[in-house]
Structure 1
Amino acid sequence: MEPRELRLAVARLENEKRRLLRKEFLQLDIPLGQGQPRLLECLLRTGPRTQRELGEECGIDVSTLSRSVDRLVEAGFVTRTQDPACRRCQKIALTESGRLAAERVAARFKKLDARFRAALSEEEARQLLEYLNRLYQSLQNPAWEDSE
C-alpha cells in the first residue's frame, strides 16, 4: 500500500459525505460550512450549551465556532444569552425555527448513519471506529509536529 492511500481514502470519504449532505441541506435552506448543521443537531440533542461546551461536543475550534454561531444567529436558528452561572460565558440555544431546522438536520444525519452502517457489520464498525480514533490520537501527538 502506498503511504498516501490512507490519507486519500479518508479525504474521499469526507468529500463524498459533504457532497451528499450539502445537496440535502441546500434543499432545506440550512446554512452550510463551518459545522452549522452539526451545531444544530448537537443543540437539539443536548439543549442549550455554552460556546465552549458546544465546541468540545462538536469538535470545532473556538474561532471557527464563534463565526458559525454568528451565522446561525443571523439565520434566526439560535440565540446567545448571558449564562447566569458565568458572567463571561454565553449560552447558545435553538430558536423555534432552529429546532425545526435541527430536526431536519438530525433526520439527514440519521440517513447518512444508516448508509454507513449498511456497509459494515457491527464488528467491522467497532473496528473502524477504533482505527479512526487511533489515527485521530496519532495526529494529536505534539511530538509528531516536531519531527519534521
Structure 2
Amino acid sequence: MKVSDSLLRMFLGGGDFVLYILLALSVVTLGVILERLYAFVHLRRCYGQLSKRDLLLFGQKRLTILATLGNNAPFIGLFGTVLGVIKAFHDLHLQQGSGIKVVMGGISEALVATAMGLLVAIPAVIAYNAFSKTLQTWLLLRQNNE
C-alpha cells in the first residue's frame, strides 16, 4: 500500500477527529481563562506586596497558552474543513449522478470545524488581550509609583 493511499483513506474519514481536538482545546482554553481570572483577582489583592519582577512573572503565567490557542485554533478548524470538503468531493465521485446534495451536505458538515476553531480562538484572543493589557497597566502604575 502506498503512502498516498494511506493518507487518502485517513483524509476520507472527514474532519471528525479535528472536532475532538478542538473540543479538547476549548476545555483547555476555558480552564486557562478561569485560572487566570482567579490569579488576577488574587494579584489585585496583593498587588502592593509583590515586586515588579514577581508581578510580571505571575501575571504572564499561561498567557502563552492563550496566545497559541488563539492563533492556531482557526487553522486547526480550517484543516478539518479541508478534510470535510475532500470527503464531500470523494462522496460525489463515488455517487455519480447524485448531484449537489451530496456536496452541500458534506460542505455544511465541514464548515462546522471552521466554526469550532473560531469558537475556541475568539475567547482565547479576547482573554489574552485583556490579561496582557491589565498586566501592562499594573506594571506602568508600579513604575510610576517608584
Structure with greater proportional helix content:
2
Same fold (TM over 0.5): no
Structure with larger Rg:
2
Query: Normalising by the residue count of structure 1, what TM-score does the alignment of the two structures yield?
Result: 0.28
Higher relative contact order, chain-length normalized (CA < 8 Å, sep 6+): 2
Structure with greater proportional strand content:
1
